[in-house]
Amino acid sequence: MTDLRILIVEDEKSFSLALKLKLQNFGKVFEANNLQSARNIIDSYPLDLAFIDLDLEQKNDGLELLENLAHKNIYRIILSARDDEKLIETAYEKGCNDYYVKGKDLRAIDTILKNYINRVEDDSLQKFIAQEFITNDPHTIEQLSLLKEVSNNTSPILLLGPTGTGKTLIARKIHEFSKCEGEFVELNCSAIPENLLESELFGHMKGAFTGAVSNKIGFLQKADKGIIFLDEIGALPLNLQAKLLKALEEKSFTPVGSTEVVKSDFRIVSATCEDLEGYRKNNQFRDDLYFRISGINLKIQALSERKGDIGLLINHFIKMSERRIVLSAETRNALIHYSWPGNVRELKKVIHLLLTKQKGCIDLTDLPTFITTASEENKPEGMLMTSEIKEMAKEIGLYETIELLKNEIMKSVSLDNNGKVNKTIQDLKISTNTYYKLIKNDSLNLQ
């Protein structure tokens, strides 16, 4: 990061200067030598970090700034010549994020900045999961939580999962986290006619073929120092697979109709909804290319495998619209229990369709017939009802019976999964919090 806004609150001029020289490589530096001038800067400018001398006009008065800075979500570092454990504990209790002891090597500031950047990236990842991708599914969160880690190297990444699950969104986030100099360049291999795909990837020279009226820069060249995202890479013809493999290994290629080699230092992120393992066995996809693009594999589940996300996504798509609609309980239930073969993309289109209705309260009659028909076909009849359950409800009451059923289901599924918590949470489509709330129940013993 080189665009940070940093405040130094320090009354010792020599130390303030040394710190400023260190920090100005990371962005704009503001300076104050007393509490009042510090408050003026805090109120006047948006800041990312603040380095605060513990002892300014009097002992420990630097702590007074911490609360004010915390309200503005500014990362707070206390500066002090006193390396006292009790004092450090007090500073953290008052709200500092880091503590630097004056006199130590200024390279320690690099560690502080790294801590700050890691926290920003962690916050960004959590916001992506909660506000952009929209999921509470444990398996999906586990996969997405790897994004920050896998973004900070140059290894190939292969995104697996059905169409419409958000693989392009993930690829763009990888580019954002990677902070690479170059562009994010996207090519859908299944959307380009085979006879034009080579030209799109590698570029061509004027006159190379009929219709080549001018030179064309290929996508691999555009992605120099950036990321090339090849969506639906399974659709790439075998002859182009060989040429792509060579380009990946040598970071160079020859445009169509040219004899000159073009160099491009790109990183490849691929995606497919196809079974590449099956393609390899049937000689439809090269083994060597598969191993070249699958350094890191992230698998995104179909929406039908994470039913708990459907309600979240419905609310998200409605909130994104300028108008508001209300779904009846029956309508929402039908949407949640539909199989969504087109995944999130299909759900988004259906919600957009409902938003165009000339009414605010949406009922079953407003849904597309393919959803209501599927809902009726899959409607369970007396799924859990037995005479024993009915008699139990009459004897101990409805809510107590429901609690007992929840406990029995939890025990049974946990036993099936050999006590594996993540698998049980995934199978029951519940949150981690719900799981642990249930096992705290005295009557529920999963051991």
Tell me, what CATH number does 181's domain have?
3.40.50.300
Residue with tokens 């230092």: 265
Q: Which range has the worst mean pLDDT, 190-194, 349-353, 385-389?
A: 385-389
The verdict on 198 and 327 lying in the same domain is no
127 in a domain, yes or no? no
Structure tokens at 302: 């179909």
The total of structural domains in the chain comes to 4
Instruction: Write down which residue in 54, 83, 116 finishes a domain.
Output: 116
| 231 plus 271 within the same structural domain | yes
Q: The domain spanning residue 325 has which CATH number?
A: 1.10.8.60
DSSP per residue, 160-200: ES-TTSSHHHHHHHHHHHHT-SS-EEEEETTTS-HHHHHHH
254, 163: one domain:
yes
Q: Is residue 367 within 8 Å of 328, Cβ to Cβ?
A: no
Residue 444 lies in a domain: no
Confidence of residue 423 (pLDDT cuts 50, 70, 90): confident
Q: Where are the alpha helices (DSSP H) in 282-361?
A: 287-293, 308-320, 329-337, 343-355
160: which strand partners?
272, 299
Tally of residues, the chain: 447
- Assign residue 64 the CATH number of its domain: 3.40.50.2300
Using an 8 Å Cβ cutoff, are 199 and 250 in contact?
A: no
Phi, psi torsion values for 53, nearest 5 degrees = -65, 130
pLDDT, residue 242, reads 96
In 3D space, the residue among 208, 137, 223 whose CA is nearest the CA of residue 431 turns out to be 137
Q: How far is CA 134 from CA 127, 141, 337, 363, in A?
A: 9, 10, 18, 25
Judged against a pLDDT cut of 70, whether residue 440 lies above it is answered with no
Find the domain containing 330 and state its range. 304-377
d(CA 240, CA 242): 5
The mean-pLDDT minimum among 21-35, 153-167, 399-413 falls in: 399-413
**Maximum mean pLDDT: which of 99-113, 347-361, 412-426:** 347-361
Whether residue 2 has pLDDT greater than 70: no
Q: Are residues 259 and 278 in the same domain?
A: yes
Q: Answer with the residue of higher pLDDT: 56 or 251.
A: 251
Amino acid residing at 218: G
Residues with Cβ within 8 Å of residue 254, at least 6 apart in sequence: 202, 260, 261, 262
Whether residues 400 and 348 share a domain: the answer is: no
Whether 169 is covered by a domain: the verdict is: yes
| Section 403-429 average pLDDT | 80
- 171-207 pLDDT tens trace: 999 999 988 889 999 999 999 988 899 999 999 999 9
Distance (Å, rounded) from C-alpha 228 to C-alpha 270? 8
- 272 domain-assigned: yes
Q: Which of 230, 265, 299 is the last residue of a domain?
A: 299
> At a CB cut-off of 8 Å and minimum separation 6, what does 87 contact?
54, 80
State the chain's maximal CA–CA distance in angstroms: 87
Identify whether residues 295 and 315 lie together within a single domain.
no
Residue 82 domain-assigned (yes or no) = yes
- The rounded mean pLDDT for the chain is 88
Burial class (CB in 10 A: 0-12, 13-18, 19+), 117: middle
Asked if residue 12 has pLDDT above 50, the reply is yes
pLDDT at residue 120 is higher than 90: no
Q: List the single range of 107-111, 200-204, 355-359 with lowest mean pLDDT.
A: 107-111
Structural domain contains residue 53: yes
Note whether 355 and 280 are same-domain residues.
Answer: no
What local confidence, expressed as pLDDT, does residue 447 receive? Answer: 46
Asked if 171 contacts 271 with a C-beta cutoff of 8 angstroms, the reply is yes
Please give the DSSP secondary-structure letter assigned to residue 256.
B
* pTM of the complete model: 0.68
User: How confident is the model at residue 441, as a pLDDT?
Assistant: 58
Residue 223 and residue 286 in one domain:
yes
Please indicate, yes or no, whether residues 274 and 143 belong to a single structural domain of this protein: yes
Helix 398-416 / helix 387-396 crossing angle, nearest 10 deg: 130
Q: Tokens 């290629």 label which residue?
A: 253
Predicted local distance difference test score (pLDDT) of residue 443: 47
CB atoms within 10 A of CB 164: 20
Tell whether 446 is covered by a domain: no
**What Rg do the C-alpha atoms of the chain give, in angstroms?**
29
205 Cβ contact partners less than 8 Å away, ≥ 6 residues apart: 212, 215, 255, 256, 257, 258
Q: Residue 442's pLDDT is what? A: 44
Identify the pLDDT of residue 194: 86
Query: DSSP 3-state assignment of 53?
Result: strand
Long-range contacts of 104-107 (CB under 8 A, 24+ apart): 106/18, 106/19, 106/22
* 311 and 356 assigned to the same domain: yes
Instruction: Give the angle 92-45-73 at the CA atoms, nearest 5°.
Output: 30
| Averaged pLDDT for residues 254-282 | 94
Q: Examine residue 408 and state whether it is found in any structural domain, yes or no.
A: yes
302 closest CA partner among 244, 269, 346, 265: 346
pLDDT of residue 313: 96
The verdict on 287 and 309 lying in the same domain is no
Pair type for strands 4-9 and 49-53: parallel
Residues 18 and 104 in one domain: yes
Is the pLDDT confidence value at 330 over 60? yes
Confidence of residue 77 (pLDDT cuts 50, 70, 90): very high
pLDDT at 383 over 60: no
82, 116, 150 — which closes off a domain? 116
